[in-house]
């Protein structure tokens, strides 16, 4: 009998290291309501900082994925962890206005992409197909837990010393994560697959409908998920402000609520990946995509709803929006040969995180275009409906998957 994945020391060490590596990932989102006011940013400018990160992250994911095919996933993963540590420190100590934050947040995105897709390759190399969904689920769950911890720590530090202390404090912790990752991977083989055999990358993309559908579905998934993540803290702070909460208090409470959403997201990643090992990738992806689209259509209109109702819906929204991520990643590793996996993940990353970079700006542009304050329900409703485009698209492409994707 196989031991449970949570008892796999190698996997758990990777997860703990990644939690710490992502400790500064959500600090800007947590501080956004304060920074928007203090720095006099428009909603479009505020969204552009998130987009700068996502553009850098997408480029990094693509390059790191491609380099994993050439030099091995382990080597690229460790190098990216070290680079992420340096950029986290730079952001923490030197991001002090709109321009420096835009620049350094973008550099942070460029560095952090390399600890995602090479990690998925590592999961595919280590775990067989019948438990790969669960393993990838744990891997992605660690990302959500990192986001949750980032928001929780940011909320505490904002209350103690404002956004400057939050930037510095969350910028130091990734150093510990990089050390844990290096220790965990120091004896892991660095596998370089033979690229001279098998079909070409273009042949894979041209002839494999499931690969194209999975890549398109991932693009739609990122549009909804990354956009929702970027703006939910500000949305909750706006809702709290409507009830009369002070600005700093609203930001702190919103950070804790969104941290809870990411904890639920971690549960979603670990459980939905395992569920897809049992029920099949297509069924799980279709159900989660449809639920995400529905919640995107209604969530923003509830800014004036009682906070307990809003928090419950936010937790459900967070569950379904992230739950398909490990399923999509596990499915792509099964649809593509190992010697082309990094290259396919590179293209997928460009598409997905490119969409994730545009979504926050599109959201902010809707708020600005309506010329209504952020605390008014009629502005938030149409803005969140922008994310439903991704949910509906993800549902459609999941439905188009051929049965072979369920052969796990």
Each residue of 317-347: pLDDT tens digit? 999 999 999 999 999 988 888 877 888 888 8
d(CA 231, CA 50) in angstroms, rounded, equals 10
pLDDT at 245 over 80: no
DSSP class of residue 23 equals T
> pLDDT tens-digit profile of 89-125?
999 999 888 999 999 999 998 998 888 889 988 998 8
Residue 271's pLDDT band (boundaries 50, 70, 90)? very high
pLDDT at 372 over 60: no
d(CA 344, CA 170) in angstroms, rounded, equals 33
Q: Indicate left, alpha or beta for 97 from its phi (over 0: left) and psi (-120 to 50: alpha).
A: beta
> pLDDT tens-digit profile of 279-315?
889 999 999 999 999 999 999 999 888 888 999 999 9
Residue 199's pLDDT band (boundaries 50, 70, 90)? low
> In 95-199, which ranges are continuous DSSP H helix?
98-112, 117-126, 129-172, 174-185
How does DSSP assign 49-110, residue by residue? HHHHHHHHHHHHHHHHHHHHHHH-HHHHHHHHHHHHHHHHHHHHHH--SHHHHHHHHHHHHH
d(CA 286, CA 283) in angstroms, rounded, equals 5
> pLDDT tens-digit profile of 183-193?
999 989 998 87
Q: How many residues does the chain have?
A: 408
pLDDT at 197 over 80: no
> pLDDT tens-digit profile of 129-148?
888 888 999 998 998 898 88
List, in order of start, the domains of the chain with CATH numbers. Answer: 9-189+203-406 (1.20.1250.20)
């Amino acid at each position: 009998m196989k031991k449970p994945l949570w008892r796999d020391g190698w996997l758990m060490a990777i997860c703990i290291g990644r939690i710490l590596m992502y400790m500064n990932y959500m600090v800007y989102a947590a501080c956004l309501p304060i920074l928007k006011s203090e720095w006099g940013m428009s909603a479009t400018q505020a969204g552009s900082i998130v987009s700068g990160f996502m553009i850098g992250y997408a480029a990094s994911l693509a390059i790191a994925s491609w380099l994993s095919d050439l030099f091995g996933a382990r080597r690229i993963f460790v190098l990216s962890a070290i680079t992420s540590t340096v950029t986290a420190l730079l952001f923490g100590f030197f991001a002090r206005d709109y321009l420096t934050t835009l620049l350094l947040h973008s550099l942070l995105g460029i560095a952090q992409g390399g600890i995602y897709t090479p990690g998925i390759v590592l999961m595919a190399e280590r775990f067989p197909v019948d438990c790969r969904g669960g393993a990838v689920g744990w891997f992605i769950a660690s990302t959500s837990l990192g986001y949750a911890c980032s928001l929780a720590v940011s909320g505490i530090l904002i209350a103690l010393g404002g956004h400057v202390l939050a930037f510095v404090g969350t910028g130091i912790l990734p150093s510990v994560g990089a050390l844990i990752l290096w220790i965990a991977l120091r004896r892991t083989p660095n596998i370089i697959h033979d690229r001279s055999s098998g079909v070409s990358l273009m042949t894979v993309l041209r002839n494999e409908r499931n690969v194209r559908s999975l890549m398109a579905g991932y693009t739609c998934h990122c549009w909804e998920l990354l956009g929702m993540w970027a703006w939910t803290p500000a949305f909750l702070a706006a809702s709290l402000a409507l009830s009369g909460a002070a600005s700093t208090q609203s930001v702190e409470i919103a950070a804790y609520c969104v941290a809870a959403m990411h904890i639920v997201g971690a549960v979603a990643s670990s459980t939905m990946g395992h569920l897809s090992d049992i029920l099949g990738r297509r069924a799980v992806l279709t159900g989660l995509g449809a639920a995400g689209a529905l919640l995107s259509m209604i969530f923003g209109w509830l800014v004036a709803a009682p906070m307990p109702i809003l928090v419950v819906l936010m937790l459900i929204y967070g569950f379904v929006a992230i739950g398909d991520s490990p399923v999509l990643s596990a499915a792509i590793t099964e649809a593509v040969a190992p010697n082309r996996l990094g290259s396919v993940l590179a293209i997928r990353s460009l598409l997905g995180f490119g969409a994730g970079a545009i979504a926050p700006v599109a959201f902010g542009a809707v708020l600005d275009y309506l010329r209504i304050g952020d605390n008014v329900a009629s502005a938030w409703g149409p803005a969140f409906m922008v994310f439903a485009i991704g949910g509906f698209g993800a549902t459609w492409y999941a439905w188009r998957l051929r049965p072979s994707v369920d052969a796990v």
